[in-house]
Amino acid sequence: MSGSNSHASPDPWRSASSAQTDEPDDRARRLQRRVEREHAARHEAERLLESKSLELFAANQRLIQLNADLEERVEARTRQVDDARKAAIKLGETDHLTAIANRFHYSEQLEWSLSRARYTGRTTGLLLVDLDGFKLVNDTFGHSHGDQLLIAIAERLKSVAGKDDFVARIGGDEFAIILDRPDVQSVTEAAERFADVFARALTIHGVTINPSGSLGLAISPENCSNAVDLQRFADLALYKSKKDGVGGVILFETAFLQAYEYRQRMEAEFRCALAEDRIDLAYQPIIDLMTGEVEAVEALARWTDSRGAEISPAYFIPLAEQCGIIRGVGRSLLEKALLETRDWIDGGRIDRVSFNVSPLELLDDQFAEAVLATLGKVGVDPHFLLLEITEGAMIQNLALVEQVMDRLRRAGVRFALDDYGCGYSDLSMLRKLPISVLKIDRSLLVDAENDRAARVILRNVVSLCRKLGIRSISEGAETKAQLEFLRSIRCDSVQGFAVGLPAPVEDVERSLRGRRPR
Amino acid sequence: MKGLVFTTFYAHCEDVYGVEMLDDIIEDADLPNKGAYTSVGTYPFQEMVALITALVRRTGLPLAQVLEAFGRFCFGKWVAYVPAHFKDKDLFDIMSGIDDFHEHEVRKLYPDAELPSFKVESRDERTLVLRYISCKPLADLAAGVIRGAAAHLGETIEIKHRPVADGTEAYVRFEFTRLA
């Protein structure tokens, strides 16, 4: 079909309808039919609307039910997510081994406790607890025992803690307890109770372990008001407790901070002095009692700090040990000692040079090679070196020490057991270890003058050495009478103020100059 | 078929041919419900066929002309129903948007309605080609709707349409050309 717009005219078709008849009956019939049609349509519409209403009502009911179901599911899912979130938070705040709070949670809790205390006016104590000898437990019995020990200690700490106390594991063998109390006295009393954690022995996998711990306490606001300082001060108190090893709780004192700052300064200065080769050596003669001649010298470290104060080796050697540089110090000073005494050795003016070794050095499996390398570098025969050791290293790991000593002994280096008679003085050491020289502690000689027992012991130790082929040297001789006594008991050698003070290398050089070779 | 088409058809018959003519074709069509339709109902398409057939017989007019007139009437109703949809629109835009109109304005009221589809085949300024796809043979009615739209917008167009069966689908190809 095609075409343009057009309109049909209605009029012709109106006339085409049969309704144009005006017969009344027909009109009535038509009207009747229209009315019936309208009624029927209206009823049909009503029926459909009613049916649609019912349909909508049912649909609405289904929607309400669906909505309720959805709400329930959303609620359940929200609960699940919330539980999972809480579990994740809990997991993130918990130490996996001991199931108490971890370091992260502890840090948050400490901040929170301090801010709360600022409003409540209460007192906050921070007690740090560190297990003593934990490494030894791990090394001796294995990590399983170590882990069980930590779990047991954590349980004991929890059992001592009050309901408001917060217990956390903040390091390998370190715990922290945050105490919230009305005053200082109640904090210290509460802290003291935690020392009881170490009062009873533990049995772990059939092994009885006597736990030991150090406890340091700092209190806010008495000592400080912020978490960083409180932690630092509690750490210093703990350090003091560990150093003193007396057990019980050590409460922070300002003096600890001063000591710490002094130590920090000394450490920095010592490191600097070492780097600039300002650690000197003095040499103390060791005299052959039979001939009265110098048979050897002992090298002794000397250090003068930036303020001109002479610092005792009894201070700076442990300092070097604590800050982990003792090995470097030992190697550097050994090289220096060998360089300074090489001519005396080469000239036959002394039989040997004695050099003190830290227990930590002996526990280094690289130590033997380092000593031999230094001897090789300086050009001194190992037979002329006598290393003085103490019992400390042997107690920690005898097997390793034996191994290190054996390697050096086979190369020709000799050993002296130092300070014998004041510690354990374990006779088995003389049997097990390659000891050539026994240095008898000065305390025995000092007591010998008025104490018969001391004299008997000294005589018998010297006799024992002779029989074992070990050379005996008595330390700390200060009087002629002591020298006479030592000669009478046939002690081989002597060292002390009575026969020679430690002196700088130049002085010793002068005194040895012109001596005939021994 | 939706009852709305029947009630619109009745209105169109009354308006164009008179109420008596409507009475007559209802009588002639011999409908099962005696011609009682409601806009919200759904009725067999065959009943509409019977009514249109009766109208064609009574009037003696060609079927195409009857359907086209009804189409124009339908467009007038739609404009009255949703005037905004057709306001300030271009004729080709309206025709291209018939499917959208069905989906947005018709489907929301009659979700199960069987609606025809108009797909644009090509378009330029002057000519628009659409494919009319429907399960009912009412292409002339569609042409009437388009004429109604053109008249509403004051445009004069030429309409050509022919059935096409290309093997994959059967449709009626509409080509509209603007004459002025």
Question: Shortest CB distance from A19 goes to which of B20, B69, B157?
Answer: B20
* Residues A284 and A511: beta-carbon distance below 8 Å: no
What token pair was written down for A250? 């050590």
Half-sphere CA count of A237, side-chain side, radius 13 A: 27
The pLDDT assigned to A244 comes to 85
Return the residue of B nearest to A27 by Cα. Answer: B20
Q: Is the pLDDT of residue A34 over 50?
A: yes
Q: Is B34 on the interface with A (CB under 8 A)?
A: yes
The pLDDT assigned to A7 comes to 44
**β strands within A71-191, DSSP E:** 123-131, 166-169, 174-181
Residues of A in contact with B54 (CB under 8 A): none
Residues of A in contact with B27 (CB under 8 A): 33
Q: Is the pLDDT of residue A228 over 80?
A: yes
Verify whether the Cβ–Cβ distance A10 to B16 is below 8 Å.
yes
The pLDDT assigned to A418 comes to 92
Residues of B in contact with A8 (CB under 8 A): 16, 61, 65-66, 69
Return the residue of A nearest to B40 by Cα. Answer: A45
Burial A45-57 (b: 16+ CB within 10 A, else e): beebeeeeeeeee
Question: Shortest CB distance from A17 goes to which of B18, B150, B157?
Answer: B18
Interface test with A, best of B10, B14, B20 (most A CBs within 10 A): B20
Return the residue of A nearest to B15 by Cα. Answer: A10
Q: How much is the mean pLDDT over chain B? A: 91
Q: Is B164 on the interface with A (CB under 8 A)?
A: no
Under DSSP, is residue B155 helix (H, G, I), strand (E, B) or coil?
A: coil
- Whose tokens are 């092994």? That residue is A207
Verify whether the Cβ–Cβ distance B17 to A38 is below 8 Å.
no
Q: Is B49 on the interface with A (CB under 8 A)?
A: no
Question: Shortest CB distance from A18 goes to which of B17, B24, B179?
Answer: B24
As a whole number of angstroms, the distance between CA B132 and CA B116 comes to 7
Looking at the complex, report in whole angstroms how far the Cα of residue A30 sits from the nearest Cα belonging to chain B.
7
As a whole number of angstroms, the distance between CA A17 and CA A238 comes to 118
Other C-beta atoms closer than 10 Å to the C-beta of A416 total: 26
Distance of CA B145 to the CA centre of its chain: 5
Name the phi and psi angles at B162, rounded to 5: -150, 145
Pairs of CB atoms within 8 A across A/B: 99
CA distances B108 to A49, A52, A63, A427, B100, Å, are: 16, 15, 19, 106, 12
Verify whether the Cβ–Cβ distance B61 to A4 is below 8 Å.
no
Confidence of residue B107 (pLDDT cuts 50, 70, 90): confident
| Bridge partners, residue A285, by sequence | A297
Residues of A in contact with B33 (CB under 8 A): 40, 44
Q: Is B11 on the interface with A (CB under 8 A)?
A: no
What token pair was written down for A136? 């030894």
Looking at the complex, report in whole angstroms how far the Cα of residue A40 sits from the nearest Cα belonging to chain B.
6
- Report the range out of A392-396, B85-89, B171-175 with the highest average pLDDT: B171-175
* Residues B166 and B133: beta-carbon distance below 8 Å: no
The pLDDT assigned to B94 comes to 87
As a whole number of angstroms, the distance between CA B130 and CA B114 comes to 19
Return the residue of A nearest to B54 by Cα. Answer: A17
The pLDDT assigned to A3 comes to 38
Question: Shortest CB distance from A5 goes to which of B23, B65, B147?
Answer: B147
The pLDDT assigned to A393 comes to 65
Q: Is B155 on the interface with A (CB under 8 A)?
A: no
Return the residue of A nearest to B13 by Cα. Answer: A10
Average pLDDT of B83-100? 86
Q: Is the pLDDT of residue B5 over 70?
A: yes
The pLDDT assigned to A20 comes to 54
CA distances A44 to A36, A52, B38, B112, Å, are: 12, 12, 7, 19
Q: What are the residues whose beta carbons fall under 8 Å from the beta carbon of A262, sequence distance 6 or more? A: none
pLDDT in tens, A318-343: 999 988 899 999 999 999 999 999 99
- What are the helix (H) ranges across B82-138? 83-86, 91-96, 98-101
Q: Is B58 on the interface with A (CB under 8 A)?
A: yes
Average pLDDT of B10-31? 94
| Bridge partners, residue A299, by sequence | A283, A355
Residues of B in contact with A13 (CB under 8 A): 16-18, 21, 58-59, 61
Q: What are the residues whose beta carbons fall under 8 Å from the beta carbon of A1, sequence distance 6 or more? A: B64, B140, B143, B159, B161
Distance of CA B139 to the CA centre of its chain: 8
Residues of B in contact with A36 (CB under 8 A): 34, 36
Confidence of residue A425 (pLDDT cuts 50, 70, 90): confident
Question: Shortest CB distance from A44 goes to which of B36, B61, B161?
Answer: B36
Looking at the complex, report in whole angstroms how far the Cα of residue B55 sits from the nearest Cα belonging to chain A.
10
Residues of A in contact with B61 (CB under 8 A): 8, 13
Name the phi and psi angles at A234, rounded to 5: -65, -35
As a whole number of angstroms, the distance between CA A485 and CA A31 comes to 158
Interface test with B, best of A20, A33, A44, A47 (most B CBs within 10 A): A44
Q: Is the pLDDT of residue A100 over 50?
A: yes
- Whose tokens are 């002996």? That residue is A362
Nearest to B46 by CA among B164, B146, B136, B162: B136
Cis peptide before A221 (omega within 30 of 0): yes
Residues of A engaging B, defined by a Cβ cutoff of 8 Å: 1-8, 10, 13-14, 16-20, 30, 33-34, 36-42, 44-45, 48-49, 52
The pLDDT assigned to A105 comes to 95
The pLDDT assigned to B100 comes to 86
**Cα torsion angle, B133, B138, B142, B145, sign:** negative
Average pLDDT of A293-316? 93
For the ranges A120-134, A361-375, B23-37, B160-174, the lowest mean pLDDT is seen at: B160-174
As a whole number of angstroms, the distance between CA A370 and CA A330 comes to 10
**β strands within A194-331, DSSP E:** 202-204, 207-209, 213-220, 249-251, 280-288, 294-304, 310-311
Return the residue of B nearest to A9 by Cα. Answer: B16
Looking at the complex, report in whole angstroms how far the Cα of residue B151 sits from the nearest Cα belonging to chain A.
8
What angle separates helix A505-512 from helix A326-346, to the nearest 10 degrees?
Answer: 20
Verify whether the Cβ–Cβ distance B38 to A41 is below 8 Å.
yes
Residues of A in contact with B59 (CB under 8 A): 13, 16
Looking at the complex, report in whole angstroms how far the Cα of residue B128 sits from the nearest Cα belonging to chain A.
15
Share of chain B above pLDDT 70, in %: 99
pLDDT in tens, B38-83: 988 899 999 999 999 999 999 999 999 999 999 999 999 988 888 8
Q: Is B30 on the interface with A (CB under 8 A)?
A: no
Q: Is B2 on the interface with A (CB under 8 A)?
A: no
| Bridge partners, residue B162, by sequence | B173
ipTM computed for the complex: 0.77
Verify whether the Cβ–Cβ distance A13 to B179 is below 8 Å.
no
Looking at the complex, report in whole angstroms how far the Cα of residue B16 sits from the nearest Cα belonging to chain A.
5
Kindly state the greatest CA–CA separation across chain B.
49
The pLDDT assigned to B97 comes to 86
N-term to C-term CA, chain A: 142
CA distances B176 to A200, B65, B122, Å, are: 105, 18, 11
Angle value at C-alpha A292, between A288 and A295, nearest 5 degrees? 40
The pLDDT assigned to A230 comes to 97
Share of chain A above pLDDT 90, in %: 72
Q: Is the pLDDT of residue A11 over 60?
A: no
The pLDDT assigned to B136 comes to 86
